[in-house]
């Protein structure tokens, strides 16, 4: 579920570009074409933060839904 959420978030680049929807994906593409490196780094860090928070949220929800999968059990197997 985490990689699916990442695919949805990164798919916004294409959708916003094709349909001319203003958003972070469009801002990212425009910053690449105009070589605005500060904006490019900012949008990249923001997307990375979204993905980290989303993956943590998916892990917490998955553990809540399936109590057999615990953090302690995962730590013991590594």
This prediction has a pTM of 0.69
State the angle between helix axes of 37-65 and 2-10 in degrees (0 to 180), rounded to the nearest 10: 150
Task: State how far the Cα of 3 lies from the Cα of 54, in Å rounded to an integer.
Answer: 10
What span, in angstroms and rounded, lies between the C-alpha atoms of 6 and 19? 20
Q: Tell me phi and psi for residue 6, to 5 degrees.
A: -65, -40
Closest CA to 47 of 28, 22, 20, 21: 28
pLDDT surpassing 90 at residue 11? no
Q: Which of 3-7, 8-12, 73-77 has the lowest mean pLDDT?
A: 73-77
Cα dihedral 58, 2, 71, 52 sign:
negative
């Amino acid at each position: 579920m985490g990689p699916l959420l990442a695919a949805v978030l990164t798919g916004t680049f294409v959708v916003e570009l094709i349909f001319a929807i203003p958003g972070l994906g469009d801002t990212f593409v425009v910053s690449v074409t105009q070589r605005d490196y500060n904006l490019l780094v900012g949008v990249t860090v923001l997307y990375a933060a979204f993905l980290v928070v989303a993956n943590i949220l998916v892990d917490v929800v998955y553990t809540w839904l399936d109590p057999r999968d615990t953090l302690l059990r995962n730590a013991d197997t590594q």
